Amino acid sequence: MAKLSVGIIGAGGITNYHIAAYQAAGADVAAIADLDVERAKAQAAEYGIPKVFDSYQKMFDACPDIEAVSVCVPNKFHASISIDALNAGRNVFCEKPPAISAQEAIDMAAAAEENGKMLMFDFNNRARPEAQALMQYIKDGTVGTINSAQASWIRRTGIPGFGGWFTQKALSGGGPVIDLLHMIDLALYFMGTPEPEWVLAATFTDFAGNSDFKGPWGIPDVEGGIMDVETAAHAFVRFKTGQVLYCRNSWAEINKREEVSVVFQGTKAGGMIRRLFGIDGLDETAIDDCELYVQEHGKSVNRQIITDTDEKMGRERAVINFVNTILGEEEPLSNPQEAVVLMQIIDAIYQSAENGQPVQIG
């Protein structure tokens, strides 16, 4: 059988995970396109990708065999490029966030539906072994209904450079709420993606521009560049089902250390998935926990779930799931409607933070 032919749009940092995963899944990465063609050439040389383009439209025209694409560009372009790719008859795996507004996510879902093509998103934390382990207990009824959950991705010193696209609202859609949306997404996944009804939120901009609060990833500052996004956010979501979710997201906030976690309280069991990063924001001293809390024989029992560790935090596994979904070998780990709900909540967080009022969705 011919290998699945894949094209890559955007040759930045995250693309390395996509290419490696496609190659590991046995797909053929046939071409890569980036407006900055030198970046595309460098990744093509590193991974043995035969064709390089300075525009994705040229790639679509020149490579009719490409069946699927990864969209790995700044957030503002996720919707327009994904819709163009779907209209060009390609299946799409789009980086997170799905878009920069719920309306864009709705338009993307419609394009997937109209063209009968797959649209999936890099909600990579769903693909982590710990998340899948907990999901088994949720699916088999051990947990019951998750009444309440707390989702945190909180950093102490993690601003991704000053003045680049990450810190410009027009290009990124926002700061840590939208950049570190993974735990909000994971909580929604565990809770069964209930329909949100009310959101009350506050955002803060402390430490913006303070180099003591910059992250360690080497993303360059842009002199004179804009930083007009939040550095921290706190939000409370109430769903139509009565379930509730508390969200904490920060790039810069006086927290003890970087924490990436979802904790939940079900009607039969509680649980937690948590990574505490090393104090410098890198992995060497990271601690991973995955636990289930139950009452058994009149005792409080805390079960520690031991899984493989995935240092890549599902970033390759999520891409492999996209390939295997197209091949009909796995169920998709994400769908367009889930992306719409996530973006509705994010829109409402920003709206509530601006107005100082609860925001009703729908």
Tell me the C-alpha distance between 185 and 343, whole Å. 10
Query: Least distance (Å) from ligand NAD to the CB of residue 314?
Result: 8
DSSP at 3: P
- Applying CB under 6 A, which part among 9-17, 111-119, 131-139, 268-276 lies near ligand NAD? 9-17
Does residue 11 bind ligand NAD (CB under 6 A)?
yes
Query: Least distance (Å) from ligand NAD to the CB of residue 123?
Result: 8
Single-letter residue type at 350: Y
Question: Contact, 339 vs 99, CB < 8 A?
Answer: yes
Instruction: Determine phi and psi for 52, rounding to 5 degrees.
Output: -130, 140
Tell me the C-alpha distance between 194 and 265, whole Å. 15
Q: Tell me whether residue 77 or residue 264 sits nearer to ligand NAD (CB atom).
A: 77
Q: Which of 10, 158, 266, 270 binds ligand NAD (CB under 6 A)?
A: 10
**Segment 25 to 44, residues that bind ligand NAD, using CB under 6 A:** 33-36, 39
Q: Tell me whether residue 72 or residue 112 sits nearer to ligand NAD (CB atom).
A: 72
Q: Which residue has the tokens 């500052």?
A: 221
Question: Contact, 225 vs 127, CB < 8 A?
Answer: no
**Segment 290 to 349, residues that bind ligand NAD, using CB under 6 A:** 315
| DSSP string for 81-127 | HHHHHHHTT-EEEEPSSS-SSHHHHHHHHHHHHHHT--EEE--GGGG
Q: Tell me whether residue 4 or residue 73 sits nearer to ligand NAD (CB atom).
A: 73
Query: Least distance (Å) from ligand NAD to the CB of residue 268?
Result: 32
Query: Least distance (Å) from ligand NAD to the CB of residue 266?
Result: 27
Tell me the C-alpha distance between 107 and 220, whole Å. 33
- Closest-CB residue for ligand NAD? 12
**Segment 66 to 125, residues that bind ligand NAD, using CB under 6 A:** 72-75, 77, 95-96, 122, 124
Binding site for ligand NAD (CB under 6 A): 9-15, 33-36, 39, 56, 72-75, 77, 95-96, 122, 124, 315
